[in-house]
């Protein structure tokens, strides 16, 4: 009993135990349903995934999806940073952009995907949709961050004749950092979901979403689950990597601060 308690409390083993528990639930439900076409058992899905891992096509498809989604994410993040810098100085521009950002966040992703299919080639839609979803999240948080810059400290930097770069480095950047970190952590998860959803609908060549869509069409449920599991695992790895990078970059004084939209 004591050994079991120690295993449960172990930080290293806890994720494995939680995963094993839910895989067990999955197995029980699959046995109860007894219809592999509707819900395949974990062993069938893992066997299919291991088969995919042994093919060159798997890595080509995965690399293409990663490129599409990360390209859109990076483009939107850079754009949001530049846009927030402009709107912090130009109030009329902020007033014009706020309703647009609100509409983008409120509109279903599927609507934008369908419109994007009419505007551009299918290969560009996942990156475009990813950027469209990420841009409002990062911009909104940074816009809030700019508003929280202490006016008295800003006046002090002017009184001491700080250069624009020193003012940004020692005042603006430390203030914005927790807002940026929080927005990126939120946006990376949304980017992955939106990008794969776009791939499923438009089905560009060599993408994870296309593989999921084709598996659904041909009723290859185990394959569909295997590709979906790939999406989940990649999402976890990417979020972990981004969080690790942001944690190293983040100011220790603001390390625990989280910002909600």
Tens-place pLDDT, residues 153-170: 766 776 667 767 777 777
74-84 exposure pattern, b = at least 16 Cβ within 10 A, e = fewer? ebbbeebeebb
The C-alpha torsion from 247 through 85 and 87 to 194, rounded to 10°, is -50
Cβ neighbours for 52, distance < 8 A, ≥ 6 positions apart:
58, 223, 226, 227, 230
Q: According to the model, what pLDDT value does residue 250 have? A: 64
Q: How big, in percent rounded to 5, are the helix, strand and coil portions of the chain?
A: 80, 0, 20
Q: According to the model, what pLDDT value does residue 135 have? A: 93
Give the percent of the chain with pLDDT over 70: 86
Task: Please report the domains of the chain, with CATH numbers, ordered by start residue.
Answer: 39-251 (1.10.3720.10)
Q: What is the 3-state secondary structure (H, E, C) of 243-257?
A: HHHHHHHCCHHHCCC
Higher pLDDT, 248 or 240: 240
Q: pLDDT confidence of 257, banded at 50, 70, 90?
A: very low
Of the chain, the end-to-end C-alpha distance in Å amounts to 44
Q: According to the model, what pLDDT value does residue 10 have? A: 60
Of the ranges 67-71, 120-124, 147-151, 255-259, the best mean pLDDT one: 67-71
Summary mean pLDDT of the chain? 83
Q: According to the model, what pLDDT value does residue 147 have? A: 85
Mean pLDDT of 74-95: 91
Structure tokens at 254: 């603001």
pLDDT tops 90 at residue 109: no
CA separation for the pair 34, 41 (Å, rounded): 9
Mean pLDDT of 110-118: 86
CA separation for the pair 215, 227 (Å, rounded): 9
Q: According to the model, what pLDDT value does residue 242 have? A: 82
pLDDT tops 80 at residue 189: yes
Q: Of the ranges 81-85, 164-168, 184-188, which one carries the lowest mean pLDDT score?
A: 164-168
CA separation for the pair 208, 226 (Å, rounded): 11
Question: How many residues are listed for the chain in this entry?
Answer: 261
Q: pLDDT confidence of 81, banded at 50, 70, 90?
A: very high
Mean pLDDT of 148-157: 73
Q: Categorise residue 39: left if φ over 0, alpha if ψ from -120 to 50, beta otherwise.
A: beta
Q: Categorise residue 86: left if φ over 0, alpha if ψ from -120 to 50, beta otherwise.
A: alpha
Provide the CA 90 distance to its chain's centre, in angstroms. Answer: 29
């Amino acid at each position: 009993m004591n050994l079991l308690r120690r295993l449960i409390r172990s930080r290293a083993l806890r994720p494995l135990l939680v995963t094993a528990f839910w895989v067990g639930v999955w197995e029980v439900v699959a046995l109860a349903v007894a219809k592999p076409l509707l819900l395949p058992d974990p062993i069938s899905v893992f066997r299919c995934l291991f088969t995919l891992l042994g093919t060159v096509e798997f890595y080509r498809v995965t690399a293409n999806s990663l490129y599409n989604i990360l390209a859109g994410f990076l483009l939107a993040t850079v754009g949001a940073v530049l846009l927030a810098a402009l709107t912090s100085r130009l109030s009329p521009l902020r007033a014009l952009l706020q309703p647009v950002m609100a509409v983008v966040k409120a509109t279903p992703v599927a609507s934008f995907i369908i419109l994007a299919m009419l505007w551009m080639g299918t290969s560009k839609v996942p990156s475009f949709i990813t950027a469209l979803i990420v841009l409002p999240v990062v911009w909104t948080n940074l816009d809030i961050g700019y508003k929280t810059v202490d006016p008295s400290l800003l006046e002090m930097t002017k009184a001491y004749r700080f250069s624009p770069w020193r003012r940004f480095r020692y005042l603006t950047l430390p203030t914005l950092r927790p807002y940026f970190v929080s927005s990126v952590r939120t946006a990376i998860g949304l980017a992955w979901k939106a990008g794969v959803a776009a791939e499923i609908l438009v089905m560009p060549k060599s993408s994870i979403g296309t593989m999921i869509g084709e598996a659904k069409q041909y009723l290859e449920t185990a394959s569909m689950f295997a590709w979906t599991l790939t999406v989940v695992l990649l999402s976890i790895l990417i979020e972990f990597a981004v969080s690790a990078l942001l944690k190293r970059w983040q100011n220790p004084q603001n390390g625990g601060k989280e910002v909600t939209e």
